[in-house]
Amino acid sequence: MSLLITNAHLISPDVDEKNCAILLDGKKIAKVFKAGEALPKADKSFDAAGKMVMPGFIDVHIHGGMGYETTSGKPEAMNAIAEGKLKEGVTSFCPTTLTLSQEQLSKSLVLIEEYRKNAKYTKVLGVHLEGPYLNRECLGAQNPAFIRMPNIGEVKELNSISPVSIVTYALDVEGCIEFTKALVAAGIKPSCGHTNATYAQFMAGKKEGLARLTHFCNQMTKLHHREIGLVGAGLIDDDVAVEMICDKIHLCPDMISLAFKVKPINKILLITDAMEAAGLPDGDYQLGGLAVVVKDGAARLKTSNALAGSTLQLNVALKNVYEVTGLPLKDLVKTTSYNQACDLGIKDLGKIEAGFIADIVVLNDDFSTNAVFIDGALKYKA
């Protein structure tokens, strides 16, 4: 089945062209046509009406939305979360767990795997395990009752249930260097977060394959003029990729500007870190069993007022970064999909060009989602 998207304002990495057309052949992009080129016939057509057409977004750090968590243990949760992600232009995601018991994590991954194999909405690329191997002094909204030492056996057990793509752990806990080596050997991306690690500890981890920082600046060693810590590592090291929650709450606009000024743009990964309240109004919610209140879109623990994930949507994150930095969208679009695909070693996602998977989002001028295509099929239309 072929489909021709016409009248597209095409925005893809290093590309910004108006009046384009995109031919989809099954799950792949067959060809991109510039303005004035003769267009082929297709089985179906879609008029983008001059709207922005971008590669479908990839959210590699997301705990939930629409009233559900990826670790809720409820069979309907993954469908609800994945359908909600369509409304923000997300075509692939990494369901992200919380610091819980191994039994709870195992049950959660069983349900994630059931959805992954029969995805009806947004696709699952692989699981992101956030914790439980974290520094107790940097927990944020993670549950201290389930913190434990790094255990590659536990990770491999979970990986046998559903593929694990990323593990977030603290780089300053006992056994972390050996754990880093083991993750790399297993083909799993190590990512440092919830840590008080020094820059020297970061460099020791980097030698073993660490090249990624989880929700940059949040719950990690602050920048200091005598110890640059993990924030300094993220800024100074051009090899390390950084996740960024650009809701203007987790990172103020000035920090967003600084990061985008000094980091290579191909090493910035926009994420949501969304919790169950994403897509819903302010009110009382929970995160991993901990009470959360959402006010003015900010989610915080009732007990400590610590930020507890976000209610951010990825299309809004892109809009925020565009407004804060003023950088061209043909550059910023790398941070919503292509960089994530490269970070995970996926070679045919994140661009709109021949041979790539036909995961596409159509955005209105205000960055709201107009339409979403996954594997060449229309999955959402506003």
| pLDDT tens digits for range 194-216 | 999 999 999 999 999 999 999 99
Q: Give the strand pairing for 90-95 and 57-62.
A: parallel
Q: Which helix (H) or strand (E) holds 212?
A: strand 212-213
54-92 in b/e burial notation, b at 16+ Cβ within 10 A?
A: bbbbbbbbbbbbbbbbbbbeeeebbbbbbbbbbbbbbbb
Q: Mean pLDDT, the chain, as a whole number?
A: 97
Which residue ranges does the chain devote to CATH 2.30.40.10? Answer: 2-54+350-381
Supply the pLDDT for residue 94: 98
Residues in the chain: 382
Global pTM value = 0.98
Nearest to 311 by CA among 323, 293, 329: 293
How far is residue 21's CA from residue 37's CA, in Å, rounded to a whole number? 9
Supply the pLDDT for residue 364: 98
Amino acid identity at 98: L
Beta strands in 68-160 (DSSP E): 68-69, 90-95, 123-124, 127-130
Task: Please give the CATH number for the structural domain made up of 57-343.
Answer: 3.20.20.140
Which residue ranges does the chain devote to CATH 3.20.20.140? Answer: 57-343
pLDDT tens string for the chain (382 positions)? Answer: 999 999 999 999 999 999 999 999 999 999 999 999 999 999 999 999 999 999 999 999 999 999 999 999 999 999 999 999 999 999 999 999 999 999 999 999 999 999 999 999 999 999 999 999 999 999 999 999 999 999 999 999 999 999 999 999 999 999 999 999 999 999 999 999 999 999 999 999 999 999 999 999 999 999 999 999 999 999 999 999 999 999 999 999 999 999 999 999 999 999 999 999 999 999 999 999 899 999 999 999 999 999 999 999 999 999 999 999 999 999 999 999 999 999 999 999 999 999 999 999 999 999 999 999 999 999 999 9
Sign for the CA dihedral angle at 296, 366, 215, 84 comes to positive
Task: Please give the CATH number for the structural domain made up of 2-54+350-381.
Answer: 2.30.40.10
How far is residue 186's CA from residue 208's CA, in Å, rounded to a whole number? 13
Beta bridge partners of 24: 3, 29
Amino acid identity at 306: A
Residues assigned a catalytic role: 273
